[in-house]
Structures are given as structure tokens and as C-alpha cells.
Amino acid sequence: MRERRPGSRPALSEERIVRCAIELADAEGIDALSMRRIATELGSGTTSLYRHITGKDELIELMVDAVYGEQAPAEAPGSGGDWRTEMAGIAHGFRAALLRHPWLAQQASRRPALGPHVIERSDRALAAAGRATEDATTAAMMVSAVMTYVLGSATTELAELEAQRSTGMTEDEWRNSVGAYVQQVVDSGRYPHFNRRILEAEEPDAEARFTFGLECLLAGLAAAVERA
């Protein structure tokens, strides 16, 4: 085997291509991806990439699977049969992945990818739900409900982060900018429940809102299984 000269570039591989694509999508969005752009980033010819990956569609599938594989086991711990605890861990791990890689939410909303890491995570979630019910259809619907909640919640968080980037204002700064108008609404007395929300309710952070909603969902699923 020929030794690589000091300072020369690492050999091109599927793993390097996928990692470069993930970093590029994280920084600039999925629309920034092209085989030509990735080749430029890697200092390679575009044709060389096609020896490892057939095209952009396969590349995105590999990116999704690689991101699912990043999730550390600690984010989805085994729990000795406590399906709600394990499902909560899986949900928090999925949310973390979506926030680390904003482009993933759009891809996860489409037909499911079928890479080995994606299937492993799905199997793990189905195993957790299977400890709550022996019915495979019910277990699958439970997993779907939790994953749909995570995806929707994370998409809302990502939209707020994008708004902050595009406007240059944090959420608190935006609230201050509309404060005078909101005060007019409050002073009108026309919306008593809205007024109570503004005057009495605290503003929990995104993590607290997510956890509260997830706990409510899991409690509801548990009650539904018990009634079945």
C-alpha cells in the first residue's frame, strides 16, 4: 500500500463525503448541497465523488442515517422495562438531533429513510412501546404520535431560531418591540383570558415547554392503552 505523503489530503471515501455534506448543510442549509460544491470543499473532482455515491438523493439518505447514528445511547437509555422513561429519552434524543441539524426536520417529514441507524432507532422505539402493549398496530401508532410531536415541536423551535437570525432580534427583544401594542390590547379589556396569559403566566423556556408536552402525551398514551 502506498503511504500518503505528509500534508496530502486524506483519501476520498463515502464517510468523508457524507460528513462534509452534513457540515455544509448545517452551516448553509440543504439547498446549498451539490456534488460540485462538496467536491470543491474536499479538494476533489466531481467525478471522483460518483465512485462512492450515485448522486444527491443517495447522499441525503446517507446524511440522514449518519445523523441518526450520532445519537449517543445515553440520550435514549434503557430503563428496565419503564417504557415511558425510555420513550422520553428517545424523544429528547431526536429533538436534540433536529436542533443540531436544522435541515433534518424537512427530511424527516418525508417518507422514512431506511438506513441501518434509522431502522435501529425505530426498532428501539417500537421495543419501548411494545412494553406498554402487545398489539403491534397500537405500538406503531404510539411511536408515530411521539415522533410527530417531537418533529412539530422542534420545527417550531427552529422557526424561532430562524426568525432571530433573519431579524437580528432575540425572542425577548421581539416581545419588547411589540410591548406597546400588547399593552393596548390588555388595556382594552376585550380579551380577559389573553390578559391573564400576559399578566400572570410565566414564560417557560423551550426545553420546559417540550418536556411538559411530551409528559402529557405519554400520560395520554398510557391511559389509552389501559382503556383498550
Given a cut of 80, whether residue 79 has pLDDT beyond it is: no
Strand residues in 66-187 grouped as ranges (E): none
d(CA 52, CA 61): 14
pLDDT tens readout for residues 50-75: 999 999 999 999 999 999 998 755 44
How many Cα atoms sit within 13 Å of 222 on the Cβ side? 13
- C-alpha cell, 2: 502506498
For the chain, what is the mean pLDDT? 88
pLDDT digits over 9-50, tens only?
668 899 999 999 999 999 999 999 999 999 999 999 889 999
Which 3 state secondary structure label does DSSP give 148?
Answer: helix
Percentage of the chain with pLDDT > 90?
Answer: 69
Q: What is the pLDDT of residue 173?
A: 87
Residue 179 has pLDDT above 60, yes or no: yes
Q: Cβ neighbours of residue 222 under 8 Å, at least 6 residues apart?
A: 84, 132
Q: Which amino acid is at 150?
A: V
Class of the 73-227 domain? Answer: mainly alpha
The pLDDT value given to residue 80: 54
* Whole-structure pTM value: 0.85
Mention every residue, 6+ apart, whose C-beta is less than 8 A from residue 96: 71, 75
pLDDT surpassing 50 at residue 225: yes
Categorize the per-residue pLDDT at 119 as very low, low, confident or very high, splitting at 50, 70 and 90.
Answer: very high
Cβ atoms of 20 and 41 closer than 8 Å: yes
Q: Is 50 exceeded by the pLDDT of residue 78? A: no
Residue 77's pLDDT band, with cuts at 50, 70 and 90, is very low
Radius of gyration of the chain measured on its C-alpha atoms: 22
| The pLDDT value given to residue 147 | 96
Q: Predicted confidence band at 110 (pLDDT cuts at 50, 70, 90)?
A: confident
Class of domain 9-53: mainly alpha
Q: Is it the case that residue 151 has pLDDT exceeding 70?
A: yes
With cut-offs at 50, 70 and 90, classify the pLDDT of residue 109.
confident
Query: What is the separation of C-alpha 192 from the centre of its chain, rounded to a whole number of angstroms?
Result: 36
Q: Give CATH 1.10.357.10 domain extents, the chain.
A: 73-227
Q: Is the pLDDT of residue 76 over 50?
A: no
pLDDT at residue 174 above 90?
no
CB 171 within 8 A of CB 160: yes
Task: Look at residue 3 in the predicted model and tell me its pLDDT.
Answer: 46
**pLDDT at residue 7 is higher than 80:** no
**Cα(74)–Cα(64) distance, rounded to whole angstroms?**
20
The Cα 90–Cα 204 span in angstroms is 22
Percent of all residues in the chain with a pLDDT value above 70, rounded to a whole number? 91
Residues of the chain with CATH 1.10.10.60: 9-53
